[in-house]
Amino acid sequence: MVKNSFIPIIPQEKKQENRGSVEFQVFTFTNKIRRLTSHLKLHKRDFLSQRGLRKILGKRQRLLAYLSKKNRVRYKKLIGQLDIREPKTR
């Protein structure tokens, strides 16, 4: 498994405070997505991991949509920090 060195680190005391916040949830989903993506580069036929990745991507997408409706400034800041593309709008 390849470790990603470009993932921002949240201090331990800050983790304890806001584990339920949208930002923290998106952060943890992003870490899982990056880990699964590197796993799937090695194991292309691991279909259960592909399914899990799609589920996590959907959860993160819904959380980001919620945050973008509620507070656009926090949304833009979070996307900038985690280096996530903005979803395409229809």
pLDDT (tens digit, 9 = 90+) per residue, 8-27?
555 555 556 688 999 999 99
Q: Which amino acid is at 3?
A: K
DSSP codes, 10-59: --HHHHHH-TTSHHHHHHHHHHHHHHHHHHHHH-TT-HHHHHHHHHHHHH
CA distance 43 to 40: 5
**Lookup: tokens for 50:** 């592909």
**Lookup: tokens for 81:** 């920090």
Contact assessment for residue 82 and residue 74, using Cβ atoms and an 8 Å cutoff? no
pLDDT (tens digit, 9 = 90+) per residue, 42-90?
999 999 999 999 999 999 999 999 999 999 999 999 999 999 998 877 6
- What is the assigned CATH class of domain 21-82? mainly alpha
